[in-house]
Chains A and B, each alone.
Chain A
Amino acid sequence: MLNKWQLLLSFMKGRKRKYIGAIIFTGLSTLISLVAPLVTRTTVDSIIGDQPMMVPEWIADLISSIGGKSVLAHNLWICGIVLLLLSLFNGFFMYMRGKWTSQASEHAAKNIRDGLFDHLQNLPYDEHVKAETGDWIQRCTSDVETVRRFLAMQLVEIGRTVFLLTAALIIMFSLDIRMTFISMAVVPIVFAFSYMFFSRIRETFRLADEAEGRLSTVLQENLTGIRVVRAFGQQAYEVEKFDGKNREYSELSYKLTRIMAGYWSLSDFLVMFQMGVTLVIGVYWASLGTITLGTLMTFVIYEGMLLWPVRHMGRILTDMGKAQISMGRIQELFDKSREDMNEDGLKPDFDGDIEFKNVYFEYEKGHPVLNNVSFKVKKGQTVAILGPTGSGKSSLVHLLQRLYDYQDGSITIGGVELKDINKKWLRQHVGIVLQEPFLFSKTLKENIALGRKGANDTDIYEAVRIASIYDVIKSFEKGYETPVGERGVTLSGGQKQRVAIARTLIRNSSVLIFDDSLSAVDTETDAAIRKALKERSKGITTFIISHRITTLSEADLILVLDKGRLVQSGTHDELIKQPGIYQRVWTLQSMMDEELLNIENKRLDGAVSQ
């Protein structure tokens, strides 16, 4: 298994060159910021002043070829131009560095986001049933952002710090060894100090983050439960509760601030103290003539440039710590295993009959949900399933799309075992309308068109007609273009179900499943939908879970489930002759309204006479 950093590296793949390029440009830009003071120094020291020049030979050659330093001294604008050129180069390098770093880090961030999205989409059905949505979203958004920020801002900075340190050390050593040691004395201390700080601040950061989480929870609960708060007149209590969390978070934040204040002031002190020491000792040596004024100036300037990035280590380490924690949280999502799609499976046509043979299924070991279920459905038949809550109706139809896998027995379509079929292929041909369908933040039309790629308007109108949702759509001002979902109009449960039915119908599946998907639709609409369906879906095998006797009675085959077992099956005519629940409900239904009322009136009379 990959560790956090390896995982991160895998997302950076394909842009490594950009990263390396960005680091090189950072180096080049750093190099120029090291060279520029040298130019100033040489100009001040040797051209304006009269110190001997300490420059590489080719520059000395260059200077003598234009007539020696006196020409430069009288044309100081040349030195100015050189400075400007250097800064233009530097600008170019910084630009490239900025561009490539952002390209590389945004690419990595995109990879992580895409990867997460893809991975989550492909987790087994059950993972989503149990999902902690809020927590997952948190990981996919703010944790990814933390990692991105680290990649975009700090990763290259590490390169810069290391480069600066090495380059400056080389130059300084070449100028004066003793001065170098004195100038750099504080660097190891700052490093050690930063490291100590790193572990302390990480812990406090975590505590403050958690406190913030609790604060948001109290706020969110208050907002979503505002009716309850008002109904019990508990505003004062809520304010007190919120205040407690607010205070707790503020205190932790302040603790963090204090640590930061201590860190920054101490490291500033060290850095500036170092500069002072360098200056005093440098001046002392310069006055003795041990070093030149130019060398001293160079040291003073470098120190300023070099010690600040060293101090910046604190920042880098902090962000690295946060990125590490975030990457860990992201990795936990990636560690969940994906659903096996059986890509190499068969892709049969769904022309044949469906057969369940001794099917056994359980969610938890030892608690069978379906036990020894066997039945056979001819192609094109309509099967109605009824049974009490927890009898296994939904599980049975879920098995047909292999949202869950049966442990024993066999399910075949046209003689092909379900488990041998490519899962995508299977789901494309078996359409299911879930009991609580989810609509996306798109228009009605787009939501329906989701069912099939390339669905045209005619397909959509047809599906809408069958699902009896046309009147509803028409009643909206924007019709088909009405946005639904979180940001759109709120549809009632029944309307949602009908949109979901249209969405599934458009797929032209060979098998259609309605998982109690007409429960929120009124009886008449229910009947209308089924009538339209019947006309259209000749040859389509249909499964309907329903509580409505009229719905059940029209089916070719009725399955009665109880406690995971198939207790009765047969046609309407067969079942009304058998003693059992179906017969009883049917009898009741067939009673006249008057009779019903008689019962009621008797009850009432009894109540009145009491």
Chain B
Amino acid sequence: MDVFEEQEYARSFSLELWKKILHYTKPYRKYMLILMAVMAGTGGIDAVFPLMNRYAVDHFIVPGNIEGLWLFGIIYAGLVALQAVNVWLLIDIAGKIEIGVCYDIRKLGFKKLQELSFSYYDKTPVGWIMARMTSDTQRLGETIAWGLVDLMWGSVMMLATLCIILYLNWKLALIVMSVLPALALVSMYFQRKILAEYRRVRRINSRITGAFNEGIMGARTIKTLVREEDTLQEFKELTGNMRNSSVRAVVVSSIYMPIVMALGSIGTGLALWFGGEGVIYQTLTYGTLVAFISYTAQFFEPIHQLARIFAELQNAQASAERVFSMIETEPDVKDSPEVVKVYGDVFSAKRENWPPIKGNVTFDNVSFSYKDGEEVLENFSLDVKAGESIALVGETGSGKSTIVNLICRFYEPQEGEIRIDGVDYRKRSQLWLQSNIGYVLQAPHLFSGTIRDNIRYGKLDATDDEIIEAAKLVNAHDFIMRLKDGYDTEAGEGGSRLSTGEKQLISFARAVLANPRIFVLDEATSSIDTETERIIQSAIQKVLKGRTSFIIAHRLSTIRSADRILVIRDGRVIEEGNHTELLKRKGYYYSLYTNQFKEEKEMELMSRDSWLSDDVV
């Protein structure tokens, strides 16, 4: 995951990117405009308050006159009320934009994830995608809303203050502004440093998370190896680094802030010095000096804010790059516009146009290699008739899984064609094919929710009766009924603990409910107890009946019952035929079979539930 995390992104501002970011605020243009208006209003009122003080000094105190004080008070109160409304609008609207943008990006991202091909998932860790969809999106939304608020506020404040002090006394104003270039330089230097430190902190932080993950997952191993103390030492080193880096980051910003303040007070000091002299030599009124000094203080306030905002914008830019890199990924497997026009896309299928499927599958001179050049199929041809069952046998890495992935169109061949019922499957939509293929995996994946929900996943509008029927067909009904809550038992991670075998049965029921024409089964290698094994075998037989099926098989009983067995080696079919034919050939299959036979027999004997009352052999 770190490999992805540590990807470095451009540090300079990229106009292109910000255009894209702004594009996502399109639905909120109206709010953005209101927000900016509110912002300007807020900044303006903030800037006006000291003017009110000056007015009070010049008009009431110095002449000793209180006429109009009540009106003044009412205006003041009015401004205060207006400002309160401003603040309320500000937070509300900025929040709306933030939440809206996050919502939109997440939605868009999720949709994209549903379209992306498996080649994307092969090389992208789930954790990475999760981070893009959660923290990065959040940061982007926050910055778009609040970064802009702050930026507007800071700029308006500074500009307004600048105008006012220039208006009050431009000479004095220029003197105060003489510290600005130094401030700009200091800010740029420090922000870069601070950013770099925080990046380091975040990197260590992700390593700490990793260490906790391993510390907990590997705790049993650590215990048996008596490595507790050493592991703790290693961990302490990590947390020590974390502490040092964090402190360093804070220290750097603790140096920066005082410098900004000192420069600010130089400005104020200068104003006091020259302004005071002005009053003494009567080139400046007393009230103006009072106002001028309060404005000077106010002028420097937004500067370190702005520096912080720029750093945040930079961070947001990095997040944006990561999020967009995901959203903009083009899926490798994609339906052509013509296909989409006729059959619809993943989200709005035009089922009425879908042709029925019989289940003939043809590989015509198919060549395929993964992007990293891994496993290859070369000029692979295969003709499977509707209703035929095919067992794929061979060692890990021989190409069995690739064949299955190609049938499901999780990948597409680079050369040659795969035809379903005689038509190149690229001329139909992915959803059409995948809705007609039942795919049961080696490691069954269940979603959180009840068993009923999980079975219903195969056909969302299935009635309860249909669900029970499907469960009965694969012999899952009995064990489900034995559970305390029956079909309403929680099946996910937090729910009751179902064994692997039980999960498999549920995934079979799910596939049966979908009633596909083509069935793909990736058989489990792990051993399950004999009883469950037998139930699963009989379930498989029932499920396969009358369907075209492809099985990555490990169990002899499954292999034996297939109509045709393909022995795959290095992406090629080296032996082909039914069980009897292949045995007679006394080739690779023969030796594979006899070895497997012995192992299985032995396993079967050894792993019975009990031997006390058995009558084996």
Question: For the complex, would chain A's binding face be called helix, strand, loop or mixed by DSSP majority?
Answer: helix
User: At the interface with chain A, which of B82-90, B412-420, B464-472?
Assistant: B82-90
CA distance A403 to B438 in the complex (A): 44
Contact A102–B250 (Cβ < 8 Å): yes
The 9 A-B residue pairs with the shortest CB-CB distance in the complex, in nearest-first order: A91-B258, A98-B254, A80-B269, A257-B95, A231-B439, A265-B88, A269-B84, A102-B250, A87-B265
Asked whether A121 lies within 8 Å of B222 as measured between CB atoms, the reply is yes
Q: Are A258 and B347 in contact (CB under 8 A)?
A: no
Is B339 positioned at the interface, with any CB of A under 8 Å from its CB?
Answer: no
* CB-defined contacts of B348 to chain A, threshold 8 Å: 236
Contact B254 A585 (CB under 8 A): no
* Contact digits for A565-588, partner B, Cβ 8 Å, 1 yes 0 no: 001000000000000110011011
Which B residues touch A548, using CB under 8 A? Answer: 602
Which residue in chain A gives the minimum CB-CB distance to B298? A304
Given contacts A216-B130, A237-B460, A239-B110, A486 and B92 within 8 Å (CB-CB) = no
CB neighbours (8 Å) of B599 from chain A are: 523
Closest B residue to A214 by beta carbon equals B448
Does A84 interact with chain B (Cβ within 8 Å)?
yes
Q: How far in angstroms is the closest Cβ of chain B from A167?
A: 19
Question: Count of chain A residues with Cβ under 8 Å from any Cβ of B?
Answer: 161
Query: Do residues B457 and A228 form an inter-chain contact, with CB atoms below 8 A?
Result: yes
With A48-B276, A121-B231, A230-B408: A220-B130 Cβ-Cβ less than 8 Å: yes
Given A99-B250, A239-B347, A438-B218, the answer on whether A280 and B76 have CB atoms closer than 8 Å is yes
**CB–CB B99/A253 < 8 A:** yes
For residue A581, give the distance in angstroms from its CB to the closest CB of chain B. 5
Interface membership of A5, Cβ < 8 A: no
Closest CB in chain B relative to A9 CB, distance in Å? 19
| CB-based contact A250/B247 at 8 Å | no
Q: A597 CA to B84 CA in the complex, in Å? A: 91
Give A269 Cβ to nearest chain B Cβ, in Å. 4
Besides A98-B257, A102-B247, A280-B76, 8 new A-B residue pairs in contact (Cβ under 8 A), listed by A number: A48-B280, A121-B215, A221-B447, A286-B61, A503-B225, A548-B602, A567-B612, A604-B583
B143 to chain A, nearest CB (A): 16
Q: Tell whether A14 is near chain B: CB-to-CB under 8 Å.
A: no
Q: What CA separation (Å) do A321 and B186 show in the bound complex?
A: 37
Contacting pair A293 B61 (CB below 8 A): yes
CA distance A254 to B93 in the complex (A): 10
> A106-B243, A279-B53 given as contacts; is B84 within 8 A of A265 (CB)?
yes
A226 interfacial by beta-carbon distance below 8 Å: yes
B261 pairs with A593, CB closer than 8 A: no
Most central of A120, A227, A567 by chain B CB within 10 Å: A227
Asked if B290 contacts A437 (CB within 8 A), the reply is: no
11 contacts between A and B (CB under 8 A): A48-B289, A91-B257, A109-B239, A133-B213, A228-B441, A250-B99, A388-B609, A427-B226, A486-B1, A587-B617, A589-B598
Residue B190 lies at the interface, judged by CB distance under 8 Å to chain A: no
Does B232 lie within 8 Å of A114, measured CB to CB?
Answer: yes
Say yes or no for A329: interface residue by CB 8 A criterion: no
- The answer on a CB contact under 8 Å between A246 and B107 is yes
The interface stretch among A136-144, A169-177, A371-379 is A136-144
Asked if residues A80 and B272 are in contact (CB atoms below 8 Å), the reply is yes
User: Are the C-beta atoms of A600 and B597 separated by less than 8 Å?
Assistant: yes
Complex CA distance for A231 and B522, rounded to whole angstroms: 13
A15 CB to nearest chain B CB (Å): 11
Q: Is B182 an interface residue (CB 8 A)?
A: no
From 262 to 296 in chain B, residues with beta carbon under 8 angstroms from any chain A beta carbon are 262, 264-266, 268-270, 272-274, 276-277, 279-280, 286, 289-290, 293-294
Tell me the complex Cα distance, A548–B608, Å: 14
Chain A residues with CB below 8 A from B224, complex form: 401, 403, 427, 431-432, 434
Task: Tell yes or no: A272 within 8 A of B by CB.
Answer: yes
* Chain A nearest CB, measured from B470 CB (Å): 13
With A120-B219, A217-B448 already in contact, the answer to whether A440 and B258 are too (CB < 8 A) is no
Which residues 88-124 of A have a CB within 8 angstroms of B? Answer: 88, 90-92, 94-95, 97-99, 101-103, 106-107, 109-110, 113-114, 116-118, 120-123
Query: Which residues of A420-476 are within 8 A (CB) of B?
Result: 424, 427-428, 431-432, 434, 437-438, 440-441, 450-451, 453
Which chain B residues in 65-84 approach chain A with CB under 8 Å?
A: 65-66, 69, 72-73, 76-77, 80-81, 83-84
In the bound complex, do residue B276 and residue A549 qualify as a contact, i.e. CB atoms below 8 Å apart? no
Task: Tell me the complex Cα distance, A407–B425, Å.
Answer: 64
Assess whether B524 is interfacial by the CB under 8 Å rule. no
In the complex, chain A residues whose CB is within 8 Å of the CB of B290: 44, 297
Asked whether, in the complex, the Cβ of B272 is within 8 Å of the Cβ of A453, the reply is no
- Chain B residue with Cβ nearest A136: B216
Cα A224 to Cα B124 in complex, Å, equals: 12
**Interface: B336 (CB within 8 A):** no
Question: With an 8 A cutoff between CB atoms, is A485 at the interface?
Answer: yes
On whether the beta carbons of A261 and B88 are closer than 8 Å, the reply is yes
How near does chain A come to B129, taking the closest CB pair, in angstroms? 6
A120 to chain B, nearest CB (A): 6
Measured CA separation A260–B215 after assembly (Å): 39
Residue on A nearest B72 in the bound complex, by CB: A280
Contacts of B91 in A (CB 8 A): 257, 260-261, 264-265
CB within 8 Å of A: which B105-136 residues: 106-107, 110-111, 113-115, 118, 121, 126, 129-130, 133-134
Q: Scan A53-77; emit 1 where CB is below 8 A from any B CB, else 0.
A: 0000000000000000000011011
Does B148 belong to the interface (CB within 8 Å)? Answer: no
Chain B residues whose C-beta falls within 8 Å of the C-beta of A222 in the assembled complex: 110, 113-114
Tell me the nearest residue of chain A to B220, going by C-beta: A128
CA distance A293 to B274 in the complex (A): 22
CA distance A7 to B130 in the complex (A): 33
B216 touching A441, Cβ below 8 Å? no
- A residues near B65, Cβ cutoff 8 Å: 287
Q: Judge if B367 is at the interface, Cβ distance under 8 Å.
A: no
